[in-house]
Amino acid sequence: MIITVSGAKKEIPEGTTVAKLIELENVETPKYVTVSINEEFVDQGAFETTDLKEGDVVEFLYFMGGGR
């Protein structure tokens, strides 16, 4: 099936979960990534059980602290 990951079309196997996609995409520091699917945030506790669907748009987001 085809989904969009960070602006790029990708073909992934049916039944791929968010957790598996993080693995497939070699996401750096997966412990600290926030994921949105179709502009809806996914709870990190649901990564293992959230299946992706044809046409989904997935973004990996990192929130950084810092500044003055």
**Is residue 68 a part of any domain in this protein?**
no
pLDDT at 23: 96
Selected residue with higher pLDDT from 31 and 56:
56
Q: Which residues form the domain of 40? A: 2-61
- Is the model's pLDDT at 27 over the cut of 90? yes
**Is residue 66 a part of any domain in this protein?**
no
In DSSP notation, 13-67 reads -TT-BHHHHHHHTT-SSGGG-EEEETTEEE-GGGTTT-B--TT-EEEEE------
**Is residue 21 a part of any domain in this protein?**
yes
pLDDT at 16: 98
pLDDT at 68: 66
Q: How many domains does the chain have?
A: 1
What CATH number corresponds to the domain at position 10?
3.10.20.30
- Is the model's pLDDT at 28 over the cut of 90? no
- Is the model's pLDDT at 1 over the cut of 80? yes
Global pTM? 0.89
